[in-house]
Amino acid sequence: MKVPIIRLGKVLLVSIQVDLTDAAALQFQEDLINRISETEALGVAIDITSLDVVDSYMARVINDTASMARLLGAEVVISGVQPFVALALVEMGRELINVDCVFNLEQALKKLEVSIAARGDRGGNRDTYEW
Amino acid sequence: MSVLHLSIRNESDISEAVRQSRAMAGRLGFSTTSAYYIATAASELAANLWIHAGGGMITLQRHGARGMELMTVDNGPGIADIDKALEEGFSTANGLGCGLPGVKRLMDELDIASYPGVRTEIKARKWL
């Protein structure tokens, strides 16, 4: 099952709607990093509203994906963590490490906009460098 | 229905186990939070069957008057050091932990019996 990746300006939108199998998770991560480098996306919003059970495997897939996107230089925000997902992840002693989380996709886009603006990066425009 | 045997033969069987365990927990009178804990534990256990044992059987059942039990049985390589399996993995999210510490926290009781290479049986129970 392929996870669609949608470009919206400098940002990529991803909505994970079903538990990913091993193969699907790898495919998704590969697709995403390829799209990021192709489009030089500055931000990625990963929406998990549709996931009502996130086990340690899915949590790891999400964390790893966020880390990969970061290594390429994109900001990452996760949206739509369900209340019971939050409860279960914390109870298990897991968390979405180092990933900003917001309620919904709209806030994710706002947050990305702010963090992209804060780093003074306009996507290939070098005018903002001081030296 | 108070006993359900599900064979985990491919990855999509995992989500079936998750759905069924949440539904059964609801029918047995568990709170929504507990039902999600049980479903998450079922997800971990079923994923373990798939990832570590190449498949197996998960049984969901009422346990006594006030409990629910998830039991997995497999004939995979087994767990050589159960204490280690219970401590590894929860400190980091990127370690390839097998999720058992998570199951232990989500459920009230966890029994593991493993005869490596022969049979591994895990029982996780939660009380109402």
Chain B neighbors of A85, CB-CB under 8 A: 36
Q: How far apart are the first and last CA of chain A?
A: 47
Domain extent for A63: 5-118
Residue A125 is assigned to a structural domain of this protein: no
pLDDT, tens digit (0-9, with 9 covering 90-100), for A42-61: 999 999 999 989 888 888 88
pLDDT, tens digit (0-9, with 9 covering 90-100), for B67-95: 999 999 999 888 888 888 887 554 444 44
Residue A129 is assigned to a structural domain of this protein: no
A73 closest CA partner among A128, A124, A28, A25: A124
pLDDT at position B91, please? 45
Q: How many helices (H) and strands (E) does chain A have?
A: 4, 5
d(CA B70, CA B122): 8
pLDDT at A123 over 60: no
CB pairs under 8 A between A and B: 72
Q: Mean pLDDT throughout B46-52?
A: 89
Overall domain count for chain A: 1
CB contact under 8 A, A93 and B18: no
pLDDT, tens digit (0-9, with 9 covering 90-100), for A9-48: 999 999 998 888 878 888 999 999 999 999 999 999 999 9
Chain B, 65 to 124: residues with Cβ < 8 Å from chain A are 89-91, 93-94, 97, 99, 101-102, 105-106
pLDDT band at A121 (very low <50, low <70, confident <90, very high): low
pLDDT at B116 over 60: yes
Residue A52 is assigned to a structural domain of this protein: yes
Distances (CA, A) of B4 to B22, B57, B68, B107: 12, 10, 12, 19
Looking up residue A78, the CATH number of its domain turns out to be 3.30.750.24
Q: What percent of chain A has pLDDT over 90?
A: 60
Q: What percent of chain A has pLDDT over 70?
A: 88
